[in-house]
Structure 1
Amino acid sequence: MLSTLSITNYALIDSLEVDFDKGFTVITGETGAGKSILLGGLSLVLGKRADLSSLRVKDEKCIIEGIFKIDTYGLQNFFEENDLDYDVNTVIRREILPSGKSRAFINDTPVTLDVLTKLGENLIDIHSQHQTMQLTENDFQLKLVDALANNQKRLAEYRKDLKTYRKAEKELQSLIDVQSTANKEQDYNSFLLEELEKAPLKVGVIEELEEEYEQLNNVELIMEQLSKGDQLFNDEQIGVLSLTTEMRQSLSKLVDFGSNYKELYQRVQSVFIELDDISSELQRLQEGVEADPKMLEEVNGKLQLLYNLLKKHNVSEISELITIKNDLADKVFETAHLDEKISLKTRELLDMESVLEGQSVVLRKKRNAIIPKLKSQLEADLALLGMPSASFEIVLNAIDTFTTTGMDELSFLFTANRGGSYGELKKVASGGELSRIMLVIKAILAKYEKLPTIMFDEIDTGVSGEISNRMADIMKDMSADLQVFSITHLPQVASKGSNHFKVFKTEGAERTMTNMKKLTTDERVVELAHMLGGKDLSDSALAHARQLLSPSLKV
C-alpha cells in the first residue's frame, strides 16, 4: 500500500508530504484546487513520462517520492530479475531536472522508466475516465471471467507454452527464409566448393610447388653444374677426393710422433668422410635429374590454379582458402539438410499446437461454466446502484488463432433498459453507467484476485443521492482487503471514508500554492457541510453532515 507521498516543486505544489493508512481514504476539494496535480505527481512515481512544464520553479529540480509497503505483494522475483534491493518499505523517487532530463530510482538504485512502469502496475491501479474504456476491451473482459473461473494458474501455464510456441514459429520461419536464400545460392556455392576441393590446398603448398617448378624449369643448368661438381671431386689427377686421400695417407705416417700430428690426421679424416658423402650425394642427384616437360606443365598448372583462387577469393594465404572451403562445405551441407530441419520443426509446432488447443478447451469450459454466475452477479450489483433493468449478454466463441488469453473471443453486450437492444458497452452505456459497471467489476475482482492499491478518480461522476451512497459502500467493502482511495465531489462518498484528506489552494502575495491536509472529525463535518450547501454554512447543512458522518465515526 501507499504509505507516504512527498512532492517538491511540482506544478502548484511547493512542498508536500502526506502519510496514508490502509482502508478507505477519500480526497475532496473544490474544482481547480489541485486534485489532478496530486494524481499527476503520483503518476510520475508510477512511470509516467515527465514534462519540464511540471516544474514550479524552473531552475530547481522537482522531486516526487512514494513509499510503498509491499510485504504481501509477492514482488521478490521482480526485484531479483531487475537487480534491485528488495525492501518491504520500498521507496520510489522521480527527479525532473531543470535541463528537462528525468531520473528514476527504486530504493536508491537508478532504473529505466520501463522497469518503473512495470513495478508501478503492481502497486497502484489509478482508475480514471480513460481506464473505464478498458471495459470495452476483450482482454479486460476475459480477465474478469478468468478471475471468477479461477483460471490464473491455467492461463500462466498456457502463456508459458504459447511463448515457447511463438519462439518455435520464429525459428521455423527463419529456417524457411534461410532455405529460400540458400536455394538460390546452392548451385554457386557447390561450384565454388568443388573448385576448391580440386585444388591441392594445404599450408605451404605454394612454396613447395614454386620450388619444384624452379627445379624442373632449370633442369639443364642443374645437370650441368652437378656434373661439373662430380668431376671436381672424382678426377684422378686433380679431383678433390684423390688429393684428400693422398693427404690422409701422408699424415697417417706421422700419427705416432705426437698428439698434435694425430689430431691433424683425424681432422683430415673427418674432411675426407664429409667430402666422400658429398660426392655420393652429387652422384645421386645426377641420377634423379632429368627433363620432364609434362611434369613442368602440371606443376605450373597447379600454381596458376592456386594463384587464380587466391585472387578470386581476394585473399593472400592458402590457410584463408581452406577456411573458405570449410565454410562453403558447411553451407552446402546445411542447405542439403534444411528440408529435414524444417520437417522436424513443423512436427514440433504441430505437437505444441495440440497442447495449446487442449489447454484452450479447458479454459473455455471453465469460462462457460462461470459466465451465468458473473451475469447474475453483475446485474444484481448494478440493480443496487440504480440500474434495475441492466442486463448483460455474455457469449464465448471459439476462434482458430492463439491469443494470450487462449482461443476464445468474448462477446460482452449490454442494455440498461428492459427489452432494449443489446450493444457494445462503448456504444450503448453512458459515462455514469460505465463508471458504475467498472466499480462493480473492480469489487468482484477484489474478491478473487490480490489487487494493488486502487485509486478511483471521480468514479461517482454523474450519480447522486442514494446511488452514490451505495457506490461508497462498495468501495468501503473493498477496502477491507486492500487500500482504496476515492477522489470525489459527493458528500455521501466522502462521509464513508476511514480517512479524509482535503486538497486546497492558498494564495500568497506572489503565487498560488496547492496543499493537502488530513481532516479532523470537526473539520470533516465542516467540509461535508460545504459540499452539501456551498460556501455558506447553515445549521441544516452541518446537521446533515454530522448525520452522514455518524456511521463512520462509530466504526
Structure 2
Amino acid sequence: MLHSLYIRDYILIEELSCTFPTGLIAVTGETGAGKSIFVSALQLLAGGRADISTIRQGCQKAVIEGEFTQLNPQVIEWMQAQELEVEESCLVRREIRQTGRSRIFVNDTPVTLAQLEELGALLLDVHSQHRNLLLREGAYQIALIDSQLGAEAQLVEAYHSAYQQYHDNAIRLKKLRTEAQQAEAEYELNSRAYEEIAALKLEQYSLTDLTEEAERLTHTQEIQEGLQSILALLNRPHSIVDQLTTAQEQMEQTSAYLPELSNYTERMRSLVIELDDIESDLSRLQGEVAYNPARLEEINTILGGVNALLKKHNLLSPEELIEYSQELGAKLAHTAQYEQELAALRTEVLQQRTAVLTLGKQLHEARAKVAAQIARSVTKTLCQLEMPHARFDIALQLLDKPTERGMDQVDFLLSANSDQPLRPVTDIASGGEIARLMLALKALRSQAATSLAELATSPAIVFDEIDTGTSGIAASRIGDMLHTMGERQQIFVITHLPQIASAATQHILIYKEETNGETYSHLRLLTPEERINEIARLQSGDQITPEAIAAAYTLLTAHD
C-alpha cells in the first residue's frame, strides 16, 4: 500500500506531505484544483515519463516521493534480484531537473526508468480513461485472462519458454539457410580460386630465393664479365697480390733490424692469404654461374602466377595469398558440412514446433475454461453495477500458427442491452459502459484472492474517471463495489460523484488557493464533519443547502 506521499515544486504544488490509510480513499476537488496533478504524481512513482514543464515555475527541480509498506513477495524478490537494500518499506523518489537529467531512487539507490517501470507495476495499478482503452487491445485481454489461470498459470511460462527456444532456433535456421545458399553460390568460384593458388605449390618454395635466383639468371653475362675482370686483376703480372707478397718479404728482412715490424708482417701475411682465398672462391663462382633459360622461364612462370593472383585478389604479399588460400579451404570444407547442420537444426526446430503446438493447445483449453468463468462473473458484476441486461463474453479462437502470446485470437464482447447482440468492446463508444466493464474486471482479483493477506500486499489501485458517463443508481452501485473492494485492499478513487465519494472510508480534498498572485494546490484528509460538507457540495454545487447536508449525511451513514 502507499503509506505516504511527499511532493515539492511540482506544477501547482509548492510542498505537501500526506499519510494514507488503507481501504477506499476518495479524492475530490473542484475542476482545476489539482486532481490530475495528484494522479500524474502517482504515475511518476509507477514509472511514468518525466517532463521538465511540470517543474513549478521559478524552481530548479521537482520532487515526488512515495513510501510503500506491506510489500508483496514479488516486490521483495525484485529488489533482491536488483541487489537493492530490502527494508520493511520501499521508498521511491523521483527528481525532475531543469537540466533534463532527472534522477530516480529506490531506497536511496539510483535506478533506471526501465527498472522503476518493473517495480511500479508491482506497487501501483493506475487506471484512467486512457487505461480503459487497453481493454480493446488483444495483449491486455490475453494478460487479463492469464491473471486468472491460478494453478494452470504455469502453462503460460512453459509455453513462453518453449516458444522462445523455437523462435530463436527458427531464426537460426533461416540464417543458416541463407549462409548455405550463399556458400553454394560461391562454391565454384572459391573452388577455382583455391585450385589456382594450390597449383603454385607455394609451400614448396621460398619466393625470396626464387626472386634472387631469377635476378642472377637474368644477369648471367654481367656476372661473368664482372668476375672475369676481378680475377684478371688478381692474377695478372705485378698484381696487387704479387706486390703485397713482395712487401711482406721486405718486411720480414727489415724486421731483423726493427722488431716493431713483426706485427705488421703477420698482418700483411694475413692479407695475402685472404686475397688468395678470395681469388679461389671467385674462380669457383665463375664456374658455377651459367645461363639456364629453361630454369629462368620456370621461375618467371611461378613468380608471374603469384603476382597475377595477388592483383586478382587485391592482396599485397605472398603471405597474404597463403592466408587467403587457407580461408578458402575452410569455406569449402564448411560448405560440405552445411547440409548436415541444416538437417540437424531442421529436425530440432520441427520437434520444438511440435512441443509449442502441444503447449499452445493446452494453454488454449485452460484459457477457454477460465474465459467462460470470467464471462459469467463479469456479467453478474455488471448487473450489480446497474447494467441488468448486460452480457459479457470472451471469444477465443485457436490459431494455426503459434505467436509470442500463445495460439489464441481473443475478443472481449459486450452487449449492454437485451435487444443488442454481443459486439467487440472496440465498437463500444460509451465511456460509462467501458468504465463499468473495467471495474468489473478489476473486481475479479478481489473475488479470486485466496486470502486477505494476498490482497493486502497487492498493488494499490488508483481509479481515475471510473465514474465517466455514470450517475444516479449506477454511481451508487459503483460506490458499493469499490467500498467492498476497499475492505480488503487500498484503493484511491478520483471522482466528482457524491455516491462514490461517500462510499470511501477516508476522504482527501484537493483544493486551490491564490497567495500573492500565485496559485497553489493543496491536499488534506477531511474530518467527518468536513466530509459531510464536501459530499453536499458534490451534490448541490457551491450553494450548500440543508437538504444537501441531510442527503450527504444519509449517503455517508449508508456505508457505516
Into which bin does the TM-score normalised by the smaller protein fall? Answer: 0.7 to 0.9
How many residues get paired?
A: 548
Contact 1:144 1:445 in 2 (8 A): no
Q: Residues 13-32 of structure 1: CA distance to partner in whole angstroms, max 9, x if unpaired?
A: 22222222333221111222
Distance 1:476 1:388 in 2: 20
Deviation, 1:35, is 0.5
Distance 2:488 2:232 in 1: 116
Q: Which residue in the other structure is 2:465 paired with?
A: 458
Distance 2:64 2:148 in 1: 37
Identify the range of structure 1 (227-236 vs 462-471) with the bigger mean alpha-carbon deviation: 227-236
Q: Which residue in the other structure is 1:255 paired with?
A: none
Contact 2:104 2:113 in 1 (8 A): no
Distance 1:94 1:508 in 2: 26
SS of structure 2 residue aligned to 1:306: helix
Q: Which residue in the other structure is 1:188 paired with?
A: 189
Q: Which residue in the other structure is 1:346 paired with?
A: 346
Contact 1:415 1:429 in 2 (8 A): no
Distance 2:104 2:123 in 1: 15
Distance 1:319 1:85 in 2: 59
Q: Residues 381-413 of structure 1: CA distance to partner in whole angstroms, max 9, x if unpaired?
A: 222111222223333221012223211122432
Distance 1:214 1:483 in 2: 96
The aligned runs of 1:484-499 (5 Å cut-off) are: 484-499=491-506
SS of structure 2 residue aligned to 1:387: coil
Amino acid at match of 1:486: V
Deviation, 1:48, is 3.1
Distance 1:421 1:206, change over 3 A: same
Amino acid at match of 1:116: L
The aligned runs of 1:541-552 (5 Å cut-off) are: 541-550=548-557
Q: Which residue in the other structure is 1:209 paired with?
A: 210
Deviation, 1:374, is 2.2
The aligned runs of 1:499-514 (5 Å cut-off) are: 499-514=506-521
Amino acid at match of 1:347: T
Distance 1:62 1:148, change over 3 A: closer
Q: Which residue in the other structure is 1:475 paired with?
A: 482
Deviation, 1:360, is 0.8
Q: CA RMSD in A?
A: 4.0
Q: Residues 200-231 of structure 1: CA distance to partner in whole angstroms, max 9, x if unpaired?
A: 54699442222111222233454566678889
Amino acid at match of 1:216: L
Deviation, 1:456, is 0.4
Q: Which residue in the other structure is 2:397 paired with?
A: 397
SS of structure 2 residue aligned to 1:37: helix
The aligned runs of 1:29-428 (5 Å cut-off) are: 29-58=29-58, 60-69=60-69, 71-75=71-75, 78-79=78-79, 88-97=89-98, 99=99, 101-107=100-106, 108-150=108-150, 151-201=152-202, 205-222=206-223, 285=285, 288-428=288-428
Contact 2:378 2:440 in 1 (8 A): yes
Amino acid at match of 2:162: D
Contact 2:61 2:95 in 1 (8 A): no
Contact 2:5 2:19 in 1 (8 A): yes
Distance 1:53 1:300, change over 3 A: same
Q: Residues 430-456 of structure 1: CA distance to partner in whole angstroms, max 9, x if unpaired?
A: 322221111111111343597522100
Identify the range of structure 1 (145-154 vs 505-514) with the bigger mean alpha-carbon deviation: 145-154
Deviation, 1:6, is 2.3
Distance 2:59 2:495 in 1: 34
Deviation, 1:481, is 4.6
Distance 2:433 2:327 in 1: 68
Distance 1:208 1:110, change over 3 A: farther
Q: Residues 101-136 of structure 1: CA distance to partner in whole angstroms, max 9, x if unpaired?
A: 241312355544444333333322211112222222
SS of structure 2 residue aligned to 1:497: coil
Contact 1:33 1:503 in 2 (8 A): yes
Q: Which residue in the other structure is 1:535 paired with?
A: 542
Distance 2:109 2:35 in 1: 30
Amino acid at match of 2:36: S
Contact 1:202 1:318 in 2 (8 A): no
Structure 1 unaligned spans of 5+: 252-259
Distance 2:79 2:188 in 1: 53
Distance 1:541 1:262, change over 3 A: same
Contact 2:431 2:469 in 1 (8 A): yes
Identify the range of structure 1 (163-172 vs 458-467) with the bigger mean alpha-carbon deviation: 458-467
SS of structure 2 residue aligned to 1:122: helix
SS of structure 1 residue aligned to 2:489: coil
Distance 2:287 2:414 in 1: 109
Distance 1:288 1:393 in 2: 105
Contact 1:13 1:515 in 2 (8 A): yes
Distance 2:70 2:193 in 1: 65
Distance 1:102 1:46, change over 3 A: farther
What is the TM-score normalised by the length of structure 1? 0.84
Q: Which residue in the other structure is 2:255 paired with?
A: none
Deviation, 1:276, is 8.8
Amino acid at match of 2:24: F
Distance 2:61 2:123 in 1: 25
Contact 1:3 1:68 in 2 (8 A): yes
Q: Residues 485-518 of structure 1: CA distance to partner in whole angstroms, max 9, x if unpaired?
A: 1111222322232321111111224022211111
